[in-house]
Chain A
Amino acid sequence: MNVNYVQLVYFFGMLFCVMGILLCIRTARTRFGKLGDAPSVSFWITRLPAESAAKLIAFAALIVLPAGAIFTANYHTFEGVHEVSGCASCHAMLPMVNDLHDPNSGTLAARHYKNKWIAENQCYHCHSDYGFSGNVEAKLTGYRHLARYTTHTYTEPIAARVRFNNQNCLNCHHHTPKFEAVQSHHTAADRLASNQMICLNCHGQAHPTSLERTPGSAAYSRLTEAFR
């Protein structure tokens, strides 16, 4: 049986949340002081006094099921940001994603996409150290981006605060015959490794320029068309 992560998230997310809502409503209506005389409650293979059952249900409603729901939703967040459509869901990212899908674009990202040099999750492959897909520090940055996007406290064109890490390119290209055959890669090896020199210095723009992504520019409306 082929089950992808989205189906798992839907199943467990709905299970935890619906059960949580039902048990919370039940616990909210429970009068804990008056359960002494209530009949015992059947729990699978055993029976529990009504007060013990109510406490067990309260524990599930307020600790176990919220933990499950939080885990599932966070898993959804961190898996979802691997997909290009996840990046495209923010307006600020549309110029990059639309350019990526443009067969006439010559940017580095578009060339990697149309030639299928990266088969899937193209954004994540080159930005795996950044935003929600990166390490803890990068994930915290991702939360800052989310807050700024949803509160509209950002200005276009957006700019990366960090310098692009060459390691993202070298993960795939380093030690390949084509890479090794270029003398300048050996000459600049130390500077490439220390990020003093970035790959884009020689290999051109990765994405549309900030001028193209500026509202009012000739390319802006084309680049910010809704992603389909």
Chain B
Amino acid sequence: MRLLRWECWCACIAFVMTLVFVLIPGPYEMAVFTFLAQPLFAIAAVSYLSKVLADLRNRGVV
């Protein structure tokens, strides 16, 4: 099962936005990184961690 599919695509899009800002810094690129890329990274990370936690609970580790 592709467990982390949408999280990875979210992070992928955020990486592209970040790369654009790093290479071509400007106010609009900065805004896209600040207000879109960072929340996308956060959403992907939170979802990933919640799935890891659920998996650990299923295995009785935590």
Mark contacts of B16-33 with chain A using CB atoms, 8 A cut-off: 1 yes-contact digit, 0 otherwise: 101101110111101101
> With A28-B12, A61-B11, A62-B48 in contact, is A146–B4 under 8 Å at CB?
no
Residue of B at shortest CB range from A86? B25
8 Å CB interface, B1-15 against A:
1-5, 7-9, 11-12, 14-15
Which of A17, A61, A146 has the most chain B CB within a 10 Å cutoff? A17
Provide the A1-25 mask, 1 if CB < 8 A to any CB of B, else 0.
0000000011001101110110011
Flag if B41 contacts A18 (CB, 8 Å). Answer: no
Q: Pick the contact of A73 from B7, B22, B28, B48 — CB < 8 Å?
A: B22
Which single residue of chain A is at the shortest CB-CB distance from B31? A150
> Could you tell me the distance in whole angstroms from the C-beta of A188 to the nearest C-beta in chain B?
39
Interface residue? A203 (CB, 8 A): no
**Given the known A-B contacts A20-B11, A24-B11, A24-B15, are A62 and B27 also in contact in the complex, defined by CB atoms under 8 Å?**
no
The size class of the interface chain B forms with chain A is 20 to 34
Q: Which residues of the partner chain A approach B22 to less than 8 Å between Cβ atoms?
A: 9-10, 13-14, 17, 72-73, 76
Q: Which of A30-38, A39-47, A122-130, A160-168 contacts B (4 or more CB under 8 A)?
A: A30-38
A147 B25 Cβ-Cβ under 8 A: no
Q: Mark A127-143, 1 if CB is under 8 A from B, else 0.
A: 00000000000000001
Interface SS, A side = helix
Q: Is the CB of A31 within 8 A of B1?
A: yes
Q: How far is the CB of A208 from chain B (nearest CB, A)?
A: 21
- Residue of A16, A27, A143 touching B4 (CB-CB under 8 A): A27
Q: List 29 A-B contacts (CB under 8 A).
A: A9-B22, A10-B22, A10-B23, A13-B22, A16-B15, A16-B18, A27-B4, A27-B8, A28-B8, A29-B2, A30-B2, A30-B4, A32-B4, A33-B3, A62-B4, A65-B15, A66-B14, A66-B15, A66-B44, A66-B45, A69-B18, A70-B38, A72-B18, A72-B22, A76-B22, A77-B33, A90-B27, A149-B27, A150-B31
5 closest Cβ contacts across the A-B interface? A13-B22, A28-B8, A17-B19, A150-B31, A24-B8
| A contacts, CB < 8 Å to B | 9-10, 13-14, 16-18, 20-21, 24-25, 27-34, 58, 61-63, 65-66, 69-70, 72-73, 76-77, 80, 86, 89-90, 143, 146-147, 149-150
User: What would 12 more interface pairs be, CB under 8 Å, given A28-B5, A32-B2, A69-B18?
Assistant: A20-B11, A25-B12, A29-B2, A33-B1, A62-B4, A66-B15, A70-B41, A76-B22, A86-B25, A89-B27, A146-B31, A147-B31
